Amino acid sequence: MRKTAILLVLMIFSARLILATSYSGPVKQTVHSSDGKYFAVIDPAHVVQNVYRSSGQPKIYWSFSFTPEMDKWFVPDNGEFVVCIRWRFVRTEDLEKPAVIIFYRDGSIKKHSYNSLVKARRTGLFETAPEGSFWRVWYESLSIKNNSIEISTHSETRIVITGEHGKLDIYRD
């Protein structure tokens, strides 16, 4: 009986290690606007990222400097800005760093830290996540459709960025 209890406890605590995973690094990606008129080539091998017009022979419309990581990207239908949504997992020491970065064609940049958007939660015991007690999850799901982004968090906060003006709105449901 005692051996069974010890074995059960060891299995429960080792489950976290079993479910832990390793992630590949960032990859080059092409992100299109919903209407297909613009696209951005996001390349972790380069510091300068380019936005293109799709019509005719694609040519650089504008550029911005940034080294991408495990990010999600959004290009609006007007091509006037690009949104970077950082990876859903964040280390506790990075909570003051930007979670959402908006790069505008005029060269301006708007940054929103994790802490300014939501209180990040701990990773769950049986959740597939990076290994370590210092990891947090700042969003549960992310949807890009109809020229906007919607980020849903564990605290029922919705973060919405529309493609018309690039303004970030927070809704607490």
**pLDDT tens readout for residues 77-108:** 999 999 999 999 999 999 999 999 999 999 99
CATH number of the domain enclosing 74: 2.40.128
Indicate whether 171 pLDDT > 70. yes
pTM of the shown model: 0.83
* 22 occurs within a structural domain: no
Give Cβ neighbours of residue 135 (< 8 Å, ≥ 6 apart).
89, 90, 91, 92, 122, 123, 129
Residue with the larger pLDDT of the pair 32 and 16: 32
**Mean pLDDT over each residue of the chain, to the nearest integer:** 87
Q: Domain for residue 140, yes or no?
A: yes
> Domain for residue 23, yes or no?
no
* CB 49 within 8 Å of CB 72: no
Given a cut of 80, whether residue 157 has pLDDT beyond it is: yes
Kindly indicate the confidence band of residue 13, based on its pLDDT and cuts at 50, 70 and 90: low
* 119 and 99 Cβ atoms separated by less than 8 Å: no
In a domain, 86, yes or no: yes
Where in the sequence is the domain holding 66, given as residue range(s)?
A: 28-172
With bands split at pLDDT 50, 70 and 90, how would you rate the model's confidence at 158?
Answer: very high
Is residue 20 a part of any domain in this protein? no
The token pair that represents 132 in the structure block: 């370590």
CA atoms 137, 141, 144, 146: torsion sign:
negative
Rounded to a whole number, what is the largest CA-CA distance in the chain?
Answer: 74
- Structural domain contains residue 168: yes
- Which pLDDT does position 53 carry in this prediction? 94
Total number of domains in the chain: 1
Q: What is the pLDDT of residues 37-82, one digit of tens each?
A: 999 999 999 999 999 999 878 789 999 999 999 999 999 999 999 9
